[in-house]
A and B are shown apart, each in its own frame.
Chain A
């Protein structure tokens, strides 16, 4: 692949069009809280308002999941306030991915309760959560627009309308000019951005990111970390990020949770107070960043 996969493309640019500028016609592709999601009037439509009232995004209490004799996660209590960002770090096999699948509603816990904006059953959680795994898993026969529009089509929007609605977002994701390229014609970083766009277009209140940049080279990964941070600053979502990478956890998360392996338990939580402005390099040099990183790394060595 020639060149790097690009600079942070949409730094500081909101993920969706401002309500004021709403030139895109009916229905925002990414209906955030308070945005009338005209295209999608599913059960999730009314949820954000209720959640704002209660002030709670995600609430996990006493969650445990067992696979046969293996205790994947145990006794997990977590609270993620609405529109805040949580990072989970931990050694391999600490049940981070299991935890995300549980929150998402792809799986049910053996013990404990999971509350996602008031939803407790797995079917209801699925409607409120968007999940993005490490691999991009794009459909090779669909071009960039087609892949991005997948969720809208699943929600019953006609193919052409769905493509039109995601078209202006493609530009903000640094994919302008690549609308009709197939995934195999894109670089790894661009594919991951398409995958992220596809996740966002589903219009869910909660974003669950499972090592979203783990398969990328370090330069591309740094770009996308900076880009994601800016994107989430511009349009906050309740986000849970699972990662191996402590720097990534600190850059994206407003709070960082450290998990231990077998059984997966939460061993520590850190609040991250970093200036919102500032590039990735400035943040990494920030004294508090360095201090937290060292503390978490030594903790990880202890639990691994």
Chain B
């Protein structure tokens, strides 16, 4: 009884070929790689040929060989300790930040009461707080987690609140006519709409997390990459310090990439919209 009209002449947008996308990705990464190589070459040239002492600027190859020789002795366990602090602190800050953001979004009273305090919390210098936390909690993982969370939660909160508030007001009106109550609107419209913003906040936080962990370790610790650095600096073991820095940097980059990959999996529509 029904005439069904399908339209083969109106195809869905063809998915771009996968190989083509990868090729484009490599081409896009080329300039950045070139700059990195140039910096490395200048570094090597300065450290080898300009008579800069090794304890001031160790050559890249000496950093590499130090990293290899000290890996099993100190760096491996230090990396593990710091990674644990970074990951746990990052997760903790995500949970806390999302709770705060949703609470602030849901209630104007809470927002007016808490938002100024949140901004104020960012004015407190974490570097100064860290030793106090070490006094309170001792050389445990707790003060590190608190420092990481203090540094990471703010960008997540701000971006989440912005994302939740970014929904088109007319869409909110449509939801009301579609029998959507507050909870349905939050769950089916506002929260998904906020996801891309939340991920923006997470990417920023991902790069902060290792910094927080190192601050925590500087203030008092028995292991970790920050601990290794603070031990190595007075000994002028600069190559070891740089090895630790490179590991930390790699950790931040990996965390950033992991967040980006997760974003592509969870909200593919956001990328399509931007193209």
Binding site for B on A (CB under 8 A): 1-3, 5-7, 9-13, 18, 21, 42, 101, 104, 106, 126-127, 129-133, 135, 137, 139-141, 150-151, 153-155, 171-172, 174, 176-178, 181-182, 184-187, 190, 198-199, 202, 204
Contacts and interface: CB of A to CB of B under 8 A. Distances in A.
Nearest to A40: B179
Contacts of A2: 9-11
**Interface magnitude class on chain B:** 20 to 34
Interface in B1-43: 1-7, 9-13
Contacts of A177: 6-7
Contacts of A199: 177-178
Nearest to A183: B269
Contacts of A12: 3
A202 B5 contact: no
Contacts of A132: 174
Nearest to B175: A154
Nearest to B10: A3
B267 A10 contact: no
Contacts of B13: 184-185
A150 B188 contact: yes
B253 interface: no
Given A141-B267, A178-B12, A182-B272, A171 B173 contact: no
B181 to A, nearest CB: 7
Given A133-B174, A174-B5, A177-B6, A154 B184 contact: yes
A154 B10 contact: no
A172 B272 contact: no
B177 A106 contact: yes
Given A6-B5, A13-B2, A13-B3, A184 B181 contact: no
Contacts of A21: 1
A174 B7 contact: yes
Contacts of B11: 2
A229 B224 CA distance: 72
A45 to B, nearest CB: 13
B61 interface: no
Contact of B5 (A10, A150, A154): A10
B70 interface: no
A141 B270 CA distance: 8
A150 B9 CA distance: 28
